[in-house]
A and B are shown apart, each in its own frame.
Chain A
Amino acid sequence: MTPRKVTAREVLEEGARRGIAFTPEQAEAVSIATTSLLESAARLRDAVSRNDEPAFGFRVPLQDAARP
């Protein structure tokens, strides 16, 4: 999975939506850290891409299993 990049502008907008006024420098720092975080998240998604386990006790049927 290609990790999402979060720009400083997105940080400023998301902050404003929540009533937080980041400075441009803070927004840039959040952008860099978040992009790195989302790279980690993308690697984790790749690590468990198959739906082959009962995650947290609930199992979604596989498409193949629904075929006759």
Chain B
Amino acid sequence: MSIDVEHLTLADATGLIRDRKLSPVELARAYLDRIERHDGAINSFITVTGETALERAKQAEREIQAGHYRGPMHGVPYALKDIVETKGIPTTAHSRVLRDYVPAQDAVVEQKLAAAGGVLLGKLACLEFAHASPSVDQAWPQARNPWNTDHGFTGGSSTGSASAVAASLTPCAIGTDTGGSVRNPAALCGITGLMPTYGRVSRRGVIPYSFSLDHVGPMAWTARDCAIMLQSIAGYDEGDPGSLQTPVPDFVSPLDGKIAGMRIGLLRYMYEEDMTADDDILAAMRETVRRLESLGAVVTEVRARPLMDYHDCKLVIGVAEFYSVHEADFARRFHEYGADLQTKTFQGAFLGAADYLQAQRVRRHLAQDMQRTIEPFDALLVASNVRPAPRIQPKTRSSTEYFQKPNITAVFNVTGNPAIAIPNGFSASGLPLSCMIVGKRFDEARILKIADALERETPWAARRPALPEK
């Protein structure tokens, strides 16, 4: 039986597998075939775990046939950003520094997905240590954007996660987000990416970029898909100091498309004043506001702090924490780092203790302000970014050009609020656009509900890129 996985969502696969209309083994084979056929054009995988996938798929099939259905991820393929540790499988962080690293145990997120019966297809490309700028001198080629493989950047740093989902090489993937690294690539590749609340998903076993800003989150075609995946990976972990012991609600059942009466705060100043979005994005945002209102939501403009405040805070904390992780390796193995990280990492050597502590103090104020801003609302709405996918630059770009400027996604890494980027149309040149819905802490269920309601009203998440074969 030949399976067309191109338009299959995670939720589709779940339903078909649960009803025994789809074989997990045949599904895994279909994705592995598609990876073989297309990944040469987009470079999204660093390691394909074909044998592991087929073993797990066979086990899932046996269990389901025997009536032991574990839940919505059972028999469903997924892939992991290659900074998520996997027992016996190389975990490179897309860096020569870790090219021979084979972890002795799985990260918690992988433990949970495996326990849910998921089928690991492989490990995905990213920017080096989730922090480098897009570079051409790394150990593996950078992932390409399936919507324009010639010159479309995927966004960073979960590059392979976004491109693999957008190319339908996996129905879902795990990414990590320190300043937007789930949501930005999701936005540029036309898929959905959720950064859960800080503390919702364990980071134990995920190679850190910045301890106090890192999040692990799902990436897939739809909000419903992300809800299914989040359900499997959420929960307290005493081994992650940032993890919080709070109940995990049902993320999937509330997705009924009904948002009448909900109050949405619009952070328009972020993409019209503090940054100036392209006309395509401005038009798409106006249309989204109209769509929300037609669904019965009440949209009101609201302001938080200037984008630059969050940017300063994220930059100082991120650079300091990254340097603290890499200081020893950086001195010993300098030449194994890519050119961009060779210059970018060393900034941390010039920050003082007071710089870091002041940044964390300011952060607390910014986070408190954001909780006050969002309090009267069910959620906030903002553009995910101000441009569609930029061209891949022929040379390595310097840090100051690319990352040392404000972005909207990083605001919510600083404040710890959950945020989901969803498809929001296409530019005149055919590249995906995206908007972001932000929730109160630990209120992922509500932003998933709003995202799902919007996705039901639009065709964006059903459109697929034309993929070259290589």
Taking Cβ atoms with an 8 Å cutoff, the residues of A that contact B are 4, 6, 11, 14-15, 18-22, 26, 29-30, 32-34, 36-38, 40-41, 43-45, 47-48, 53, 55-56
**Is B359 in contact with A44, judged by CB distance below 8 angstroms?**
yes
Does B349 belong to the interface (CB within 8 Å)?
yes
Q: Once the chains are docked, how many angstroms separate the CA of A8 from the CA of B31? A: 50
Given the known inter-chain contacts A20-B346, A45-B355, please indicate yes or no for A37 contacting B361, CB distance below 8 A: no
Extra pairs beyond A44-B355, A48-B365 (11, CB < 8 Å): A22-B346, A29-B398, A32-B398, A33-B400, A43-B312, A44-B312, A44-B358, A45-B354, A47-B309, A48-B358, A48-B361
Chain A residues within 8 Å of B308, by CB = 43
Binds A, one of B275-283, B313-321, B377-385, B436-444: B313-321
A sample of 20 inter-chain contacts (CB < 8 A) reads A14-B350, A20-B330, A32-B398, A33-B344, A33-B398, A33-B399, A33-B400, A33-B404, A34-B347, A37-B350, A41-B312, A41-B359, A43-B308, A44-B359, A44-B362, A45-B358, A47-B309, A47-B362, A48-B362, A56-B360
Given the known inter-chain contacts A26-B342, A33-B400, please indicate yes or no for A41 contacting B351, CB distance below 8 A: yes
Chain A residues within 8 Å of B349, by CB = 14, 18
Does B311 belong to the interface (CB within 8 Å)?
yes
**Is B350 in contact with A34, judged by CB distance below 8 angstroms?**
yes
**Is B357 in contact with A55, judged by CB distance below 8 angstroms?**
yes
Q: Once the chains are docked, how many angstroms separate the CA of A46 from the CA of B361? A: 12
Task: Give 5 closest A-B pairs by Cβ, nearest first.
Answer: A40-B312, A41-B355, A29-B343, A34-B347, A33-B399
Question: Secondary structure of the B side of the interface?
Answer: helix
Q: Once the chains are docked, how many angstroms separate the CA of A48 from the CA of B363? A: 10
Given the known inter-chain contacts A26-B342, A44-B355, A48-B362, please indicate yes or no for A33 contacting B334, CB distance below 8 A: no
Q: Once the chains are docked, how many angstroms separate the CA of A55 from the CA of B356? A: 13
Chain B residues within 8 Å of A55, by CB = 357, 361
Does B331 belong to the interface (CB within 8 Å)?
yes
Q: Once the chains are docked, how many angstroms separate the CA of A12 from the CA of B233? A: 45
* Of B343, B365, B404, the contact of A30 (CB 8 Å cutoff): B343
Q: Once the chains are docked, how many angstroms separate the CA of A65 from the CA of B433? A: 55
Q: In chain A, what residue has the closest Cβ to B361?
A: A48
**Is B330 in contact with A33, judged by CB distance below 8 angstroms?**
no
Chain A residues within 8 Å of B365, by CB = 47-48
1/0 contact string of B84-104 vs chain A (CB within 8 Å) = 000000000000000000000
Q: Once the chains are docked, how many angstroms separate the CA of A32 from the CA of B398? A: 10
Chain B residues within 8 Å of A18, by CB = 331, 349
